[in-house]
Structure 1
Amino acid sequence: MKKMFLKFVLCCLYLWRPVGAFGHLRHVSVKEGDSVTLNSGLTEIQTDDEIVWRFGYNGFIIARINNVTKSISYDHYWSLAERLKLDHQTGSLTITNSRILDSGIYEVEIRHSSFETIYRFEVGVYEVFPEKETEKSVLEGDSVALHTGRTYLNDDWIQWWFLKKNYLIAELNVPEDRYIVYDDVLDGRFRDRLNLDKHTGSLTITNLTTQHAGVYDLDFNTMSRRSFSLTVYAHLPVPVISSNSSQCSSSSSSCSLLCSVVNVSDVTLSWYKGNSLLSSISVSDLSISLSLPLEVEYQDKNTYSCVINNPISNQTQHLDISKLCHTCSDSLKL
C-alpha cells in the first residue's frame, strides 16, 4: 500500500513540474537567420521517457527521443531536419539558421509510462527590413505588385493596410482558411482592383489612379513589418510650342518661342539644343500650367526640342523653326 501511495505522489510531482499547463501556448519570436531553442521544461529525461516534437496544425512529427532505446531521430519536413538539434539530456529542441517558413505551431509531447504531457509554442520568425519605406512609382492605368518576400505561407496570417494603417484592405489567415479583400473601403476606391496571392500573401493592385497613391503597410503574425510608398503619376501631355510674337519681325534677328503644358503636377519642363540642356522649370503643385520661353535666331540650323518629364516617363515636342519663326520678308513671300 505504501509503495502504491509513493508511486502516486511521484506521479503527481512529475505532472506538476513548473513548465505550464497542458495546452498553454508560449509565444517565441526570433530574427531570421538566428537560432531559437524551445525548452521542454525537463532538467533530465527519465529512463522510460519518450519525447516527440511536432510542427504545424496537422502535427507532423519532426524529431523524437526514445530514452529506452537511447535513439534520437529527425523526420524530414521541408528543410527543417538538417537544422534541428535535440538536447539528449532535456529533450529541448533548437532550430538553427531560422527561416520564415519555420514560423508556426510547435508541440512537444513528453510520454511517460502512465501519462503524457504536452506543451505548445507559437514561433514567429520575422524578417528584418530597412526602416525606410520601399518606394514604388507607376503610371495611371498600370498595375503594381506589393510583395511579402515569402515564397510560401505556413500557419500565418497577414494584413494589408492603406494610408498609415487607417484602412484594412486585405487579409489572409491560413489556419482559419480565411481570404478577404475589402474593396469597398473609401467609397469603393479599390473595387475590382485587389488581388491577394493565397500562396505568398503578396498584393496586386490593378488599373491604378492617382487616388491609390499613398503608404501601404504589411503586418505579419511573425512580427514582420513592411511599408510601401506608392506614387501614381498621370500620363503626360505632349508639350505645345508656339511663337511668342503676334506678328512678323523686321528689326529683330531672333524669334521668341514658348513651350507650354497644362494641368500637370510633379513634372519638369525643359528646352534642349540637341542633347544639351538649355533651361528648365520644375513644379510639384497639383494641376497647374507651365510655360518656358526660348529665343532662337531665324536662320538657326540647330535642332531644338521641348521635353516634359516625371521620374518614370516623358513627352517630347521638336521645334520646326521654319514654321514658327518668320521675318516680314518671309511673310510677303508667302
Structure 2
Amino acid sequence: MFDRFWFCLCLWHLVGVFADSDAVKSVSVKEGDSVSVETNTKLQTDDVIMWTFEHPETLIADIDTKHITFSTYDVLDGRFRDRLKLDNQTGSLTITNTRTTDSGLYGVTIRSRTDITYRFNLIVSDSVHCCDSAEAVIRLVFTALVGVAAAAAVVVLVYDIRSRRAELDV
C-alpha cells in the first residue's frame, strides 16, 4: 500500500512537470513592433532547438549546439525574410517588424536530455485600429468636450431666436 502511494505521488509530480509544455501560451503584439518568444532555458552542449510555424509545421529556425549552427529559413514565400533573430544564449526567437500575417501557432522543440515542446499563439493586431488605454481616454474626453460645445451652441442659438421673437412681439 505504501509503495503504491509513493508511485502515485511520483507520477502525479511528473504529470505536473510536463503539463505546462502542452499548454498554448498567447502572445500579443502590435503590427510593426518586435516580439521575442522565450524558451526559458540556457543552451547546453548537444542541445537542438527547432522553431516551427503553423500547420504543416514549417521549420523556420533551428539551433544545433553540437555543430554550432544557428539558422533561420526564408520559407513561406519569404514571409519572414530578414526578420527572424535567434538568441545564441537561450535559443529564444525574435520576430522584428511584425505583420498581421505573422499571426498563428508557433512551436519550439528543445531536444536535450529529454524532448520538450512549447506552443505559442502569436496575435499581431493592426496598429491602425488599435490604441492603448491612454489614447482611448483622450479620444473619449475630446469627443465629450465636442459634444458639450455642440449642445451649448444649440442652447445659445435657441435662446437668441426666442429673444428676437420676443423683441418683435413687443
**Is TM more than 0.5 here?**
yes
CA positional deviation for 1:138: 1.0
Establish whether residue 200 from structure 1 lines up as the match of residue 90 from structure 2.
yes
User: Structure 1 residues 313 and 220, CA, compared in 2 at 3 Å: closer, same or farther?
Assistant: farther
Structure 1 stretches of at least 4 aligned residues deviating more than 6 Å after TM superposition:
none
Query: What is the percentage of aligned positions where both structures have the same residue?
Result: 33
1:142 aligned to 30, 33, 53, which one? 33
Letter in structure 2 aligned against 1:227: R
1:172 aligned to 30, 40, 63, which one? 63
1:317 aligned to 116, 131, 140, which one? 140
Please give the secondary structure, in 2, of the residue aligned with 1:158: strand
User: Structure 1 residues 139 and 330, CA, compared in 2 at 3 Å: closer, same or farther?
Assistant: same
Establish whether residue 191 from structure 1 lines up as the match of residue 14 from structure 2.
no
The separation in 1 between residues aligned to 2:86 and 2:156, in whole angstroms, is: 68
CA positional deviation for 1:226: 0.4
Establish whether residue 161 from structure 1 lines up as the match of residue 73 from structure 2.
no
| CA RMSD after TM alignment | 2.9
TM-score normalised by length of structure 1:
0.37
Greater relative contact order (CA < 8 Å, ≥ 6 in sequence): 2
CA positional deviation for 1:194: 0.5
User: Structure 1 residues 175 and 132, CA, compared in 2 at 3 Å: closer, same or farther?
Assistant: same
Whether the aligned pair in 2 keeps the contact of 1:163 and 1:214 (CA below 8 Å) is: yes
The separation in 2 between residues aligned to 1:188 and 1:143, in whole angstroms, is: 18
Whether the aligned pair in 2 keeps the contact of 1:217 and 1:226 (CA below 8 Å) is: yes
After superposition, what is the alpha-carbon deviation per residue over 1:78-118, rounded to whole angstroms, capped at 9, x for unaligned? xxxxxxxxxxxxxxxxxxxxxxxxxxxxxxxxxxxxxxxxx
What residue number does 1:88 align with?
Answer: none
Letter in structure 2 aligned against 1:330: L
2:116 aligned to 221, 224, 229, which one? 224
1:320-331 correspondence runs (5 A)? 320-325=146-151, 326-327=153-154, 330=157
Whether the aligned pair in 1 keeps the contact of 2:23 and 2:118 (CA below 8 Å) is: no
Bigger Cα Rg: 1
CA positional deviation for 1:314: 5.6
How many residues get paired?
137
TM-score normalised by length of structure 2:
0.68
Whether the aligned pair in 1 keeps the contact of 2:43 and 2:65 (CA below 8 Å) is: no
Letter in structure 1 aligned against 2:50: Q
User: Structure 1 residues 165 and 200, CA, compared in 2 at 3 Å: closer, same or farther?
Assistant: farther
User: Structure 1 residues 313 and 225, CA, compared in 2 at 3 Å: closer, same or farther?
Assistant: farther
The separation in 2 between residues aligned to 1:313 and 1:181, in whole angstroms, is: 37
CA positional deviation for 1:324: 2.7
CA positional deviation for 1:187: 1.6
The separation in 1 between residues aligned to 2:53 and 2:39, in whole angstroms, is: 15
5+ residue gaps, structure 1, are 1-33, 35-126, 238-307
After superposition, what is the alpha-carbon deviation per residue over 1:128-153, rounded to whole angstroms, capped at 9, x for unaligned? 25222011111111111111121232
1:1-334 correspondence runs (5 A)? 128-130=18-20, 131-182=22-73, 184-221=74-111, 222-237=114-129, 315=136, 316-318=139-141, 319=144, 320-325=146-151, 326-327=153-154, 330=157
5+ residue gaps, structure 2, are 1-9, 11-16, 161-170
